[in-house]
Amino acid sequence: MKFDTIVRGGNVVTPTDTTVTDIGIVGEKIAAIDFGLVADADTRVIDATDHHVIPGVLDVHVHLELPFCGTVSSDDYRTGTRAGARGGVTTLIDFAIPYAGDSLAMAADNWMKKAEGKALIDYTFHICITRWNEHKDQIKGMVDRGFTTFKEFMIYESEGWQSDDRALFGTLEKMKEYGTMLLVHAESARVLDELIARHHTPELMKKYGAQLHAMTRPNFIEAEAIQRVVMWSEVTGGQLYIVHMSTAEGTEIVKAAQARGVPVIAETCAQYLVLNDDVFADKDGHLFACCPQLKKPADSARLWEGLKDGEVSVISTDTCTFTREQKAMWAGDWTKIPMGMPGLETLLPVAYTHGVLDKKISLEEMCQKLSTNPAKIMGLYPRKGAIEIGSDADLAIIHPNRAHKIAPSQMETNADWSPYEGWELSGFARTTLSRGEVIVDDYKVVGKAGRGRWLPRSYAGLAGSNAEPRMSRLSRGPLSPLRAALIESLVSQ
Ligand code: URP
Ligand code: ZN
Ligand code: ZN
């Protein structure tokens, strides 16, 4: 076979084994995985000796150029996708959120425009349902257009994004009908409002500053919301994906629900694995404000355990970048801090350094959580997410231990700070290939803006995928007693 590119002699992680071998690429696809592939005169040979070659990372939770908290998140599709590429990310999924009065189709069109001409890597969007009465009859049209994941927020009333139980329940019924999946930001809005109101005094703000962000969001705020929406998934049979899960309690609820056969999947983010709420006491603590906020070391430990055991299927970032100037909008009132952090550039380095090198997960498990599972769950597999013949040639080549010190001035993100500033992280991409094209070479971005493509999808979640063992067991799992009771009650009506 004549190859356009051969990646030579790396430690290649495939779904079946990890072995030193070559990868042959023809056009945009992986065409061969075998040792000793023969190059001809015009084959580009990329030396991967003494490096790991892993599937390109999918960051399936990203907000680029998002109008939010009275400002607009500062990484757009140009800087955000460059940042991702430097960290081995070759696919991202953003959230298309309808502005007031917009339909779901208008939201998708709007996000398409943000990406066009700027994206360096491939992308698609979760479609956010913010006004159930208006949007419910538009969902099927979006599925037909190639969007198979939808999103609802249980908080953010002031942004006009909040969904109530009626919307969550109704959307999950539709997910069941269409074989699609609902992503949910699970925090308990009313109790949270009450806790914020109780603490929103000049005295407490002066005394505790940004620490109030953590003090008003105890773990039960997330746990109660997860518990409730898991119930709606259980009785409707609609596929549910908990985004940015941050608590040990949430992890336990998901584990128990999965054991009952509830079609629920959980994601956590890099920051919840390696940072904790001590940061809010620092001078720059407000920079770390995000929703849900950072929790305790015991929560991080439980999330790592969940990744290892399988109840946590995906690591993402929830990238929502705000600069120091934007974060300064809080002026001492913690309810006014733009919520979110940069993350795309450091996802793989954090997971590799603190997961693989610290021996919390294996290299193969990391590839499952960063690439294969997200691709399967989000309806992008086998095109994305694995080093397999026929898949897109999306690869990250990383040195096993070469570390980079995190310095915002040397990064691609627009952020002028990093949650990991000063940390030594290994796992930055020496080379990133996207559909066979080198877009990062010698740790520098060389790919051109606008080459990234939108990715249409036809399924999501457990429907149509054959994800990790726990999930394939789940897809054949027993009918949960609650769902059986609901079906029984509907049948007998
Ligand atoms: O603080 C965060 N997470 N900002 C982005 C919006 C969201 O809730 O995901
Ligand atoms: Zn969220
Ligand atoms: Zn988010």
Residue 33, H or E segment = strand 29-34
Distance from the alpha carbon of residue 153 to the mean position of ligand 1, in angstroms: 10
CA distances from 490 to 70, 178, 263 (A): 45, 20, 20
Residue by residue, pLDDT tens for the chain (493 residues) are 999 999 999 999 999 999 999 999 999 999 999 999 999 999 999 999 999 999 999 999 999 999 999 999 999 999 999 999 999 999 999 999 999 899 999 999 999 999 999 999 999 999 999 999 999 999 999 999 999 999 999 999 999 999 999 999 999 999 999 999 999 999 999 999 999 999 999 999 999 999 999 999 999 999 999 999 999 999 999 999 999 999 999 999 999 999 999 999 999 999 999 999 999 999 999 999 999 999 999 999 999 999 999 999 999 999 999 999 999 999 999 999 999 999 999 999 999 999 999 999 999 999 999 999 999 999 999 999 999 999 999 999 999 999 999 999 999 999 999 999 999 999 999 999 999 999 999 999 999 999 999 999 999 997 655 444 344 333 333 455 655 554 454 434 3
CA 386/CA 54 separation, integer angstroms: 8
CA 61/CA 14 separation, integer angstroms: 24
CA 2/CA 37 separation, integer angstroms: 10
183 Cβ closer than 6 Å to some ligand 1 atom: no
Please tell me the number of Cα atoms within 13 Å of 317 on its side-chain side. 30
- Give SS3 for 87: coil
For residue 491, the model assigns a pLDDT of: 38
- Give SS3 for 134: helix
340 Cβ closer than 6 Å to some ligand 1 atom: yes
Question: Which ligand lies nearest to the CA atom of residue 225 in the structure?
Answer: 2
For residue 473, the model assigns a pLDDT of: 33
Closest CA to 107 of 134, 75, 78: 134
Residues with CB under 5 A from ligand 3 (ion): 318
291 Cβ closer than 6 Å to some ligand 1 atom: yes
Say which residue the tokens 């399924």 belong to.
459
Pocket test for ligand 1, best of 60, 244, 320 (most atoms within 8 A of CB): 320
AA identity, residue 43: T
User: Counting runs of H as helices and runs of E as strands, what totals does the chain give?
Assistant: 18, 21
63 Cβ closer than 6 Å to some ligand 1 atom: yes
Q: Which two tokens stand for residue 148?
A: 């198979």
Question: Torsion-angle region of residue 156: left (phi > 0), alpha (psi -120 to 50) or beta?
Answer: left
- Kind of pairing between the strands at 5-13 and 44-47: parallel
217 Cβ closer than 6 Å to some ligand 1 atom: no
CA 258/CA 292 separation, integer angstroms: 22
CA distances from 392 to 112, 224, 294, 382, 423 (A): 22, 40, 35, 8, 33
- Kind of pairing between the strands at 403-405 and 395-398: unpaired
343 Cβ closer than 6 Å to some ligand 1 atom: no
CA 374/CA 382 separation, integer angstroms: 11
Contacts with 459 (C-beta within 8 Å, 6 or more apart), sequence order:
148, 179, 180, 379, 465
Whole-structure pTM value? 0.95
Q: Which two tokens stand for residue 108?
A: 């998708």
Looking at ligand 1, which residue's alpha carbon is closest to its atom 3?
A: 291
Distance from the alpha carbon of residue 83 to the mean position of ligand 1, in angstroms: 19
Helices (H), 218-367: 219-236, 248-259, 270-274, 297-309, 324-327, 347-351, 363-367
Closest CA to 292 of 228, 343, 223: 223
Closest CA to 161 of 189, 197, 199, 125: 189
Residue 290 CA, closest ligand 1 atom number: 1
Contacts with 391 (C-beta within 8 Å, 6 or more apart), sequence order:
29, 30, 55, 382, 383, 384, 385
